[in-house]
Structure 1
């Protein structure tokens, strides 16, 4: 079967998921969810799930008893029934037993990156809807496998990219729709976040950040698994925070698509210097590691409608946090790093204006409606919104606002950037995961006020 015919057949199959013999997630107004991975990220999302009246958390899985214990204590503190737990015995396959639990509507996957694809595939095959933390897969084949499984089964899948719900990002989406910037020409974003203290610690669960220079089996939390990616890989390892909003603005997969990609990587110095300084010398084994990940990885994407998008991955050097957004069109631009905006004919010539007044004017309806409820949630409220979107779409049997095509397109930037760098910074054609459907698909990231 030709690729396009396969995808169209899969889309038709997905539409049948709402016929009478539907899985549990397609019935009722309350959902029964499980969570695989109850570490520090999982617990942030669990907090938002536990305070919802339309969610029953019925299953939790983690092979770290400390984290599993903390998660069950959260449920008890919230006054919720105790979820069934899996993995306390250290069984690495405990998550498979969770997916066999009867009556499970959906699962949140918040595990190390390399586990996302196999877990999501198994969940969709079991007709358990998936809310997956960012990074849909590791290899390019992972992304095709996740996509094909979703199309074959029709099981809902959402990438839980919270930055798409950031308050200023959503206000800018309103401005783009209103034509404030004119025709879009160039966009920028990235993941510019000093993670040195995240990638190393002393292995103590109570000291997860910056407490030492251990990683791998001797580390804890992200230092146990994430740092290894900096040792063995060189590419744009975490693209969705930056590309998600840029893809929304440019209508990627909905009237537009990526056509080409290339990537460049700088030398790698930051993690080595950090371990030397933190350990007080050069005798610790971590100081002798040869890190492959360039300190600054710059990726450029070309779009079918003529826009260019630049991403930067910068996690190994000292710097303040910034996602480095820039949205530029024929009538002006917005940049988040200086909280500035310039609109021709409205702003003083050659001068920035403060973004706050514009954000207030173009406040997104979702933030108008839910700002008070989201107050206090993780990442400035973004985590409440992304969980809300997943749950509401599941209850409504509606398309996921960040769907399978978005997930694999955004996440595949990683293996493609690795390939580009490995081939001498070669420009590559970007695969069309929609099989041509991007030309007919309409924007569903419209956020009509429900979710």
Structure 2
């Protein structure tokens, strides 16, 4: 199929697939009343995209920490928007329940520590409040089945707010994949390769959340308060969705394809300990120098797909390194790698040589980015945050299927407990659960087929 024919056909299919469907919120609407649970740094970064929209009213916020609620209210005040109702502060861990009991909430963004995502999402769906959940969907494998069953039982919309699916180059490559530029897909790679030592460990000062010390837990602040404990207690692919999300869309997972097997390996753990010992605010005598971190510095996870592709993920957050998600998309006719914007297409590129991918990015730039780049300018993570919020709001308003739906959410996120199990069981290869229970065979791709969401 020629590229123009492909794009025209894709747009038509997308419009059909995204037509309003049954949803527990009833008929389509023009405006949404949105609440936010968790107003920490991640929640605050989502305020810009939310408050920039005339079709969204932020009606309620909740958090355990007054300092975060105050920062959020200050951001809202600067926009001139009406203040939402405020729940929590002073360590109140049940404030989110009071928020969900408030009448007149259409949708909620969950931006809390990971362990709260599943219970909060289930409670929201039971209350018929559409859920936009930050990654991950749950902690244990049972969490994921529970979230899935709650969505199926209630019919309430649920979207995993995976912003990397909306990264500009990632979406351009999606266009390339769908146009057949790489031929038949064979192998993909991605990961979360990001030096988080200064995020997991800090001074505990709310004004210094990054690179400021070696404390965590009760003495830390922001992510150091909760995220670091996962590195103490767990060994696995702790943050899979940034990498697996785009790869799953490329491979049409749950839409004619699925994951069938998974295994994982972990290296020894040295990075966080060394950071504490070498830090001027730490040292070999610091109490945290005695902490045993279970998480391997580099965790490598491999998935096999029903249609014969393999996907390799790497979690690498405890060693010195520049940020990279390490994407590689490889097919029978060529491959793309994001690290140096490298691409090679047989018959187009010079033999055995890389090309700069920019001209391909320009040619295959996704219609969403062509249409909304100006509106997304200045939003978090290079504009990706605007697109994922836009997609959620528009889908809920339309009563349409979620672009990143419940099956995507639980499968991508379940990679974590499954990788933990594989490592714990001597790196055993495990069967991957079919969360769709056979529906993957007949479901059709809908993600980003047009310029709506």
Is this a same-fold pair by TM over 0.5? yes
1:127-171 CA-to-partner distances (Å, cap 9, x unmatched) read 000000010000000000000000000000000000000000000
Write the distance in 2 (CA, Å) between the matches of 1:438 and 1:200.
41
Write the distance in 2 (CA, Å) between the matches of 1:358 and 1:283.
53
Counterpart position of 1:108: 109
Counterpart position of 2:373: 371
Write the distance in 2 (CA, Å) between the matches of 1:419 and 1:90.
33
Give how far 1:280 is off.
4.8
Give how far 1:210 is off.
1.1
Q: Residue 21 of structure 2 contacts residue 399 of structure 2 at CA under 8 Å; is this kept in 1?
A: no
Counterpart position of 1:181: 182
Give how far 1:46 is off.
1.3
Q: Residue 21 of structure 2 contacts residue 400 of structure 2 at CA under 8 Å; is this kept in 1?
A: no
Give how far 1:444 is off.
1.2
**Alignment partner of 1:449 is 2:447:** no
1:229-284 CA-to-partner distances (Å, cap 9, x unmatched) read 00000000000000000000000000000000000000000000000011352111
The counterpart of 1:289, out of the listed 288, 291, 295, is 291
Q: Residue 366 of structure 1 contacts residue 447 of structure 1 at CA under 8 Å; is this kept in 2?
A: no
Counterpart position of 2:319: 317
Counterpart position of 1:429: 431
Q: Residue 268 of structure 1 contacts residue 291 of structure 1 at CA under 8 Å; is this kept in 2?
A: yes
Runs of 4 or more consecutive aligned structure 1 residues displaced over 4 Å after TM superposition: 15-18
Q: Residue 42 of structure 1 contacts residue 110 of structure 1 at CA under 8 Å; is this kept in 2?
A: yes
Query: Which range moved further: 281-290 or 345-354?
Result: 281-290
**Alignment partner of 1:306 is 2:327:** no
Write the distance in 2 (CA, Å) between the matches of 1:304 and 1:190.
21
Write the distance in 1 (CA, Å) between the matches of 2:397 and 2:205.
40
Write the distance in 2 (CA, Å) between the matches of 1:117 and 1:88.
21
Give how far 1:16 is off.
8.3
Write the distance in 1 (CA, Å) between the matches of 2:262 and 2:282.
41
1:80-133 CA-to-partner distances (Å, cap 9, x unmatched) read 111000002432101000001111000000000000000000000000000000
**Alignment partner of 1:342 is 2:353:** no
Write the distance in 1 (CA, Å) between the matches of 2:442 and 2:356.
38
1:276-332 CA-to-partner distances (Å, cap 9, x unmatched) read 011352111111100000000000000000000000000000000000000000000
Write the distance in 1 (CA, Å) between the matches of 2:218 and 2:227.
11
3-state SS, counterpart of residue 408 of structure 1: helix
Write the distance in 1 (CA, Å) between the matches of 2:164 and 2:299.
20
**Residues paired across the two proteins, number:** 433
In structure 2, the gaps of 5 or more residues are 1-19
Give how far 1:77 is off.
1.1
3-state SS, counterpart of residue 432 of structure 1: coil
Give how far 1:27 is off.
4.4
Q: Residue 214 of structure 2 contacts residue 282 of structure 2 at CA under 8 Å; is this kept in 1?
A: no
3-state SS, counterpart of residue 412 of structure 1: helix
**Alignment partner of 1:87 is 2:82:** no
Counterpart position of 1:140: 141
